[in-house]
Amino acid sequence: MASALESSTSPRPSSLPAAESEDSQAAHPLRRAMDALYRGCAIVAGSALVLISLVVPWGVYTRYVLDSASSWPEPMAVLLSIVLTFFGAAVCYRSGIHMRVTVVRDLLPAGARRAVDLVAEGLMIVIALFMVIWGGRLVAATWQQVIAEFPFLSVGVTYLPIPIGGAITLLFIAERLLIGPPPQRTDWREAAPD
């Protein structure tokens, strides 16, 4: 299990060539399922970002050009920001592009790096469980409330991305622990400078 946590920058095991190793990982059913979930989350988060970038200028246009401000763009942008945040966080975690500081970890010997990686994954499990449990409670507590600008929409529905994002993050953590991180196509530290 600990060897599965080695980072994508760690040397590949010498028993398999890199291409063979990536092909066998891609063929794993769990990897294929997580790839599909990852793509779905990226589409949801990207769509939310595009909609935010359309809704906010509309609100500005109606307020300053038409001199008759719409009441719905601002709350809609906030609701879409919740979707973007929690689905986008799961995407960033799986792809390894989230903010992290690995200077000390990278200086440690291989065994200590694996231990640090296990501790980090354990902390991620705690955070994801917090999102699932307390996010679920928030959804349940606000289910009967409605948003003034969108009376057809329950407040609880708007908070659903919190427990769903936590559950998806838990699945991505399980993937890392069971079969290792997804193969990285490129490592930004090895890329040529701009």
pLDDT, mean of residues 175-191: 76
Above 90 in pLDDT, residue 168?
yes
Above 60 in pLDDT, residue 3?
no
103: its two tokens? 């200077």
Q: What is the pLDDT of residue 13?
A: 39
Above 60 in pLDDT, residue 5?
no
Q: What is the pLDDT of residue 191?
A: 59
- 3-class DSSP string for 90-121: HHHHHHCCCCCCCHHHHHCCHHHHHHHHHHHH
Identify the burial level of 161 via C-beta atoms within 10 angstroms of its C-beta, where 0-12 means exposed, 13-18 middle and 19 or more buried: buried
48: its two tokens? 């939310």
Distance, in Å, from the CA atom of 177 to the CA atom of 82, rounded to the nearest integer, reads 28
- Cβ atoms of 31 and 38 within 8 Å: the answer is no
Q: What is the pLDDT of residue 28?
A: 84
168: its two tokens? 């998806």
Above 60 in pLDDT, residue 183?
yes
118: its two tokens? 């296990």
Above 70 in pLDDT, residue 189?
no
Residue, of 10 and 29, whose pLDDT is higher: 29
pLDDT digits (tens, 9 = 90+) for 49-108: 999 999 999 999 988 888 888 888 898 999 999 999 999 999 999 988 877 777 888 888
pLDDT, mean of residues 28-52: 94
Distance, in Å, from the CA atom of 90 to the CA atom of 41, rounded to the nearest integer, reads 8
152: its two tokens? 């057809």
Residue, of 177 and 17, whose pLDDT is higher: 177
- Cβ atoms of 45 and 87 within 8 Å: the answer is yes
Q: What is the pLDDT of residue 21?
A: 52
pLDDT digits (tens, 9 = 90+) for 113-162: 999 989 999 999 999 999 999 999 999 999 999 888 888 889 999 999 99
26: CB partners within 8 A, 6+ apart: 32, 35, 183
